[in-house]
Amino acid sequence: MKKIAFFMGKGGVGKTTISATVAYQLSRENKKVLIVSLDPAHNLGDVFEKKLTNEKRPLGANLDGVEIDLSAWVARYLKESRNEIRSNYLYHSAINLENYVNILKYSPGTEEYAVLWAIEYIYREYAAAYDIIIFDTPPTALTLRFLAMPSITSLWVGQLSKMREKILKKRQTILAVNPKASIVRNRPLEDGGDEDVPVQGATDKKNDKIYIKLSGISARLTELQRLFSHESYLSVVVNPDTLSLSEALRIREELDRLGVHINSVCLNKTSAEGAGRENVEKNFGGCPVFMSPLLTEGVRAVSDLSVIDVEGVKNDLKAAE
């Protein structure tokens, strides 16, 4: 069984119900399960009739739950960014750091990075203690963006690393010509700089804090990409309607470009006869499609999760290597 499962899809298709049901039924089979809501709407606690927070809380035997507070993780990401600027850049005092961080709060990608670091934290802290971690994801747009972030940002960080190497080589050239050059010192020697004080700017990437930081970010993103592409089971939830199917196909196309592949499709809210299945199978040729018939009265109590049919996707998940 894979260590992580993501249930994705258009808003309203039943991702929370399916992910909660799979988690509940696996826990009843003596699998230790952690279910995590990444959806800002946070309906997971309502399903289990429990108040969930950023910290894991018990939902039943072998089952714990977390609802990620995205605003708290954005604040945490911004705090880390502020601290990194202060520790790695000598010129941070020349700019208004607080104004910069306030702008960063509204920058494209901030929420996606916050979700990534939340997933990374959950995996690092809890993977060893559970048989599986199941993520109930936000609607399609945000989910695709955070899944795409590791591969896209790795390209960007790679280019920054190459630029940094060029800067370090230029420093080496300058120092070879003039060992007392002020370009790598806080103060020029002629203005009172101390010749005995080590230079402040590194010339070797092994000693350059910025290059080391970029390498660390690159390693972190590579591990997240591996987590999504090799350690995760991805299921797209669809309904028997054109809009949810179209969005599911878009998810598959986008993820294929990133080297992350869907493991299954869960046709939810269908009839007992499987209305819409033929159309889904035709569009997702080769990808297993599992049905979960509509529960006419909805989920009224936690015990209802035991009667929702997720046997197909649950067994496929257990068999996934």
Nearest to 268 by CA among 58, 16, 66: 16
Phi and psi based region of residue 196 (left: phi greater than 0; alpha: psi -120 to 50; beta: remaining): alpha
Catalytic residue, from 39, 64, 69, 136: name it. Answer: 39
Q: What is the DSSP letter of 137?
A: P
- Could you give the CA distance from residue 78 to residue 179 in angstroms, rounded to a whole number? 38
- Could you give the CA distance from residue 51 to residue 215 in angstroms, rounded to a whole number? 40
Question: Are 36 and 23 a contacting pair, CB within 8 Å?
Answer: no
| Greatest extent of the chain over all pairs of C-alpha atoms, in Å | 86
- Compute the C-alpha angle 15/17/20, nearest 5°: 100
Q: Which residues contact 69 (CB under 8 A, 6 or more apart)?
A: 53, 54
Q: What is the DSSP string of 169-181?
A: HHHHHHHHH-TT-
Q: How large is the angle between the packed helices 140-177 and 110-126, nearest 10 degrees?
A: 90
Specify the pairing of strand 132-136 against strand 232-238: unpaired
Nearest to 288 by CA among 316, 250, 310, 259: 316
Q: Indicate if 256 belongs to the active site.
A: no
DSSP H helical ranges for 29-64: 44-48
Question: Are 268 and 18 a contacting pair, CB within 8 Å?
Answer: yes
The residues annotated with a catalytic role in the active site are: 39
